[in-house]
Homo-oligomer: A and B are copies of this chain.
Amino acid sequence: MPTSTAIHPAPAAGGARAPRRTPRFTAGPTTLYAQLASVLRGHIASGEWPPDSDIPSIDELCAQYGLGRITVRQALQILAAEGLVSSQRGRRTFVTYSRDQLEAAPLFPTFAAVGVQTPEYGVKILSHTRTDELPPARWDLGRSAGPYMLVRKLDQSSGQPYGLSGIYVAEDIYKRFPKGAENRSKLVRLLVKYAKVPVTLARERVRVAAADFAEAEGLGCAMAMPVARVERVFCDADGRVVYYSNTAYRGDRYGLERDISEYLHRV
């Protein structure tokens, strides 16, 4: 593994606060400027650098973190591209992020959204493959009984991709879908409508990972950016898997909200 280089910053301005702990910048998988961007993003998200306030100058940031001007400039360019800061003719850089923006920004593609198809929603079908089996490394719920139609697709909001899915739908049910319906409706919606045996089991598993190549390409994000990987299994009353999916959501577009009051009684 690469060697690590700890850089001791000068004490932060405004000596009233306790001295800040030393960020550890490391030559490693993440470049120095991305690491610095991450630190500065933290100052903004925590409110330490409030909206409309000036952030330290490039020279001050260089001195504080012991990094070069190019690295600091690159970090600020990332924050500017993310809409967190803005510069006025190179003189001052100030925070343009507000809490309202944060609240407005995230998509919450929980399953609740299945029933609600907004005008912004779009789907791009990438491929169809007929297959006899579910993938071997799947979540082991229910009985695999093919053939299945594997549909690869991209969910989009206002034309921007946010979810890349591979979805196995029992072929006998898939064949009953009206022609072209999958281009307008989510597959789960169609599944529940056209299944002859009622769908009774529905489970979801969420994990967090760094985008692999296919995910980065499909979602239009950088490789190794955070994604949520969501696996969903639907079984019918006979215990047969009728729907199995893997979806990668862009980390910056993913969110899930849920009621956890049932757990209060188990405490």
Q: How many copies does the complex hold?
A: 2
- Cβ contacts under 8 Å, A16 to chain B: none
Query: Within 8 Å of chain B (Cβ to Cβ): is A197?
Result: no
Residues 68-111 of A at the B interface (beta carbon under 8 Å): 74, 77-78, 81, 99, 102, 106, 111
**On chain A, which size bracket covers the interface?**
35 or more
Task: Judge whether A206 and B45 touch: CB under 8 Å.
Answer: no
17 further contact pairs, Cβ within 8 A, besides A29-B78, A201-B261, A208-B251: A24-B217, A29-B34, A30-B223, A34-B223, A35-B223, A38-B212, A42-B212, A42-B213, A99-B136, A114-B267, A192-B264, A199-B264, A200-B261, A203-B261, A206-B256, A207-B255, A208-B249
CB-CB nearest in chain B for A205: B257
A212 touches B266 (CB 8 A): no
Quick one: given A137-B102, A257-B203, are A39 and B226 in contact (CB under 8 Å)?
no
Does chain B have a CB within 8 A of A145?
A: no
**A209 and B226 form a contact (CB under 8 A):** yes
B223–A208 CB distance below 8 A: no
A210 at the interface (CB under 8 A from B): yes
Assembly CA distance A27 to B2 (angstroms):
18
Contacts A31-B29, A260-B232; A251 near B226 (Cβ below 8 A): yes
Interfacial chain B residues near A256, Cβ < 8 Å: 205-206, 256
Q: Is the CB of A224 within 8 A of B255?
A: no
Verify if A157 is at the interface (C-beta below 8 Å from B): no
